[in-house]
Amino acid sequence: MFYFFDDDIVTRQIDWKSILVKAAPGGFREIYHLQPTQAIIGPSFLLKVGGHEILATHDQVPGTMNNYYEDYFWFDRDGPARIDIDIIPKILKAVLPAGSSVWKGGGLDIKTLTYRMPVWEEGNGNCCPAGGMVEIKFRLDDGRLVVTDKHFNPHAKAE
């Protein structure tokens, strides 16, 4: 469901977004609500991932190049469950050397279950990551991302 608060019919920019799922005959439950100060909001979509079909929402934050409001949902007989992508920063902290980081947002390709990002070291300019590349691979197990491989290559060049 999209919410519009501006009467400007020309732009018809979406202000808020909710995802509703049928919980019972005639009844729906909200599983997602996005109320950003800025975002390019679009529809949610179904996505094939590792032989499973999941529900995805992916809305870009303007001016950030790679930062998105993104969430993914797994459905089973118990209903919808959010796939926890918030584990990625914890994995990055474990695999990257002290003083290294990645930009927030972006990097996750849920279709291939891969996270790949250039790495910044202290002192690198915003334009020029020179700290190598990090790659994390996952499998989807009953709606959970399970790490299958994590690798930091300090010599890889940013693409």
Q: Which of 52, 106, 57, 58 is nearest to 74 (CA)?
A: 52
Is 136:115 a contact under the CB 8 Å cutoff? yes
- The model's pTM is 0.84
pLDDT tens-digit profile, the chain (159 residues): 998 887 666 667 888 999 999 888 989 999 999 998 778 888 999 999 988 999 999 888 877 666 788 999 999 888 899 999 999 999 999 999 988 888 777 789 999 999 999 888 877 776 777 788 999 999 999 899 999 999 999 888 766
Domain residue ranges in the chain: 2-82, 87-153
